[in-house]
Structure 1
Amino acid sequence: MTATVEVRNLVKRFGALEAVRDVSFQLPEGETVALVGHNGAGKTTVMKLMLGLIRPTEGCVRVLGEDPAAGEFAARRRLGYLPESVSFNTGLTGRETIAFYARLKREPIRNALSLLDRVGLTHAADRRVGTYSKGMRQRLGLAQALLGSPRVLLLDEPTTGLDPALRQSFYEIVQELRSGGATVLLSSHALTELEERVGRVIIMNHGVKVADGTMDELRLIARLPTRIRMKVTESGLSRLHDWLEPVSDWRRINGHIVEVDAAPQEKIEILRRATSANAPVEDLDVIPPTLDELYAHFLRSQERAS
């Protein structure tokens, strides 16, 4: 699969501060990738390097085959970017704002105005941006990022200020772009909402890439326990100790609900017992390690190693 973004041995220093340290990865077309990390982990710096807003101290970045730090970065027209904190001229209306950015990107005004409808701002198109709520400004920022059907879309905390319905609508737009072959890089602290919506996760900590892979790949590497939650029958409660032996890491959490932390090598055996004909189990749920748990694990592992 063709890589739209290539990052090789990237280093960025601001004086004595090393914001990014020897980071490498590729982003293929048609992939949605989450870039996660705490504040100061280097996520926004990496995005700015991809955009050519700052130059790398060492290493290189190629976006759509070009160096974004070069004087003539023609690929910029095929990039979309939504910064963490959007800021617009508050005296302009939403319609005037999107038309302004369309002219900068040399896109037809008519196409640009249709984006206001796509992000749910048609009703406020002729209101001044100064009257917009935070969520409305975020939607306007998303509209300008979508100008020109970008092949690479960089989104920094894109769902901040959006209500649940608009978040769902946002991810539907992301899915449409990905299906059309666009590369989407999402940076967010909202790990729960990213978990089922991205194909790959890159975790950064203190400027270093500490993990990179699909959720299944990260779970395989981390080897964290899987939670198995079972609803046990009334008669089964009295023989829990015998039935679960030799599993020791289990607990009753509410009435007939029992939860087991199953190590990778124990999971199949526990499920076999829970689904056998004589098992006192009425229902069960298998809950694999979440992105929040994986994120915490990889950060702890890096800190122990350093």
Structure 2
Amino acid sequence: MTSTLTISDLTKRFGEVAALTGVSLTVAPGERVALLGHNGAGKSTLMKIILGLIPATSGRVTICDAAPGSAAARRAVAYLPENAAFHPALTGLEQLQHYLALRGEDRSQAMQLLEKVGLAQAARRRIGTYSKGMRQRVGLAQALIGHPRLLVLDEPTSGLDPISRREFYALLDDLAAQGASILLSSHALTEVEARTDRIVILSKGRMVAEGSLPDLRRRADLPVTLHVTARNGYARDLVRLLPGAILVDGALHLTCAQSTKLETLGRIAGFGDKVTDLEVLPPSLEDLYSHFSQGAAQ
């Protein structure tokens, strides 16, 4: 499968400061990739190079086999910033019609785009009356003009309420299912954990980890957390049977290495009706992010 976005050994320097060093990455059609990193890790610089706003110092970037900033690349890529700003006096419909005209597209597509992002009922309201979530939807609607093959999203759910976030990611899922590639930057690790196919972690301009969530968990080899709920009267017995377990409000909390997880689960299963529930908590994306970022710093 031909990659929509290909980045090879990318380096960007600002004078003596290296903002990016040796970054290589591909994003396939229909793939959702999360770009994670602390402030100053190089995420914004990488996005600006992809969009053709600044040149790389060395390395190679192609978008659908075209150079960033070229006419072909600009047709293939769309961008949504963290804070999308629109004229407050225009209606959502008028704003989309304006962007369609700028792109040389048929203005009649405006309502269809607003329907796609769930704004059909507010299409004739002034944008000045829209909530933050609604403005982000307008931004996504304008990003979809021309059926882009790559969407670059910078903190797209910042400031959105939980329901709006869920609806936003559901829309991204639909776009990915239709073949669009998605590269998004986010600090909301919990939502990214469940809604992306692959994760890229940057630290001080270098890519310190890349892969699916299961891949990163295997590489990090962090402990697994187990929560064991004891039947009434058996909590103290289980504490003795599980060295290292901590009793909290009638439940036992313990950790074990990935390599001993199955053995530990087998032991707990052998306790029979002394146990009423068992919850296995693998390392979260936040745990993995901290692990790889701190490892890079050291």
Q: How far, CA to CA, are the matches of 1:14 and 1:38 in structure 2?
A: 19
State the partner residue of 1:18. 18
Query: Pick from 127, 130, 133: which aligns with 2:131?
Result: 133
For 1:1-306, list aligned pairs within 5 A: 1-69=1-69, 72-245=70-243, 248=244, 250-254=245-249, 256-276=250-270, 278=272, 280-304=274-298
Equivalenced residue count is 298
Q: 1:203-260: per-residue Cα shift (whole Å, max 9, x none)? A: 0112111100000110011010111111111232121243113xx2x21222x21111
- Does the CA-based 8 Å contact 1:138-1:161 persist in structure 2? no
Contact 1:3 1:27 in 2 (8 A): yes
Distance apart, 1:36 and its partner CA: 0.7
CA distance in structure 1 between the aligned counterparts of 2:203 and 2:80, rounded to whole angstroms: 22
Contact in 1 for aligned 2:114/2:120 (Cα 8 Å) = yes
Q: TM-score, normalised by structure 2?
A: 0.94
After TM superposition, give the deviation of residue 279 of structure 1 in Å. 5.9
Which runs of no fewer than 5 residues in structure 2 stay unpaired? none
C-alpha displacement at 1:261, in angstroms?
1.0
DSSP 3-state at the match of 2:62: strand
SS of 1:202 mapped into structure 2: strand
Question: Counterparts of 1:272 and 1:175 in 2: how far apart (Å)?
Answer: 37
Name which of structure 1's ranges 157-166 and 221-230 shifts more when overlaid on structure 2.
157-166
Give the aligned residue type for 1:130: G
1:217 aligns to what SS in structure 2?
helix
C-alpha separation in 2, matches of 1:163 and 1:94 = 20
Deviation at 1:184, TM superposition (A): 0.8
CA shift for structure 1 position 22: 1.5
Distance of 2:196 and 2:171 partners within structure 1: 13
Aligned equivalents of 2:180, 2:66: Cα separation in 1? 17
- Cα displacement (A) at 1:128: 3.0
Q: CA deviation at 1:138?
A: 1.5
Check the 8 A contact 1:77/1:105 in 2, yes or no.
no
Task: Verify the 8 A CA contact 1:81 1:153 in the aligned structure 2.
Answer: yes
CA deviations 1:55-94 (Å, max 9, x no partner) are 111111000110114xx42232222210122122333322
Shift of 1:277: 5.5
Please tell me the residue identity of whatever aligns with 2:4: T
State the Cα distance separating 1:30 from its structure 2 match: 1.5
- Runs of 4+ off more than 6 Å: none
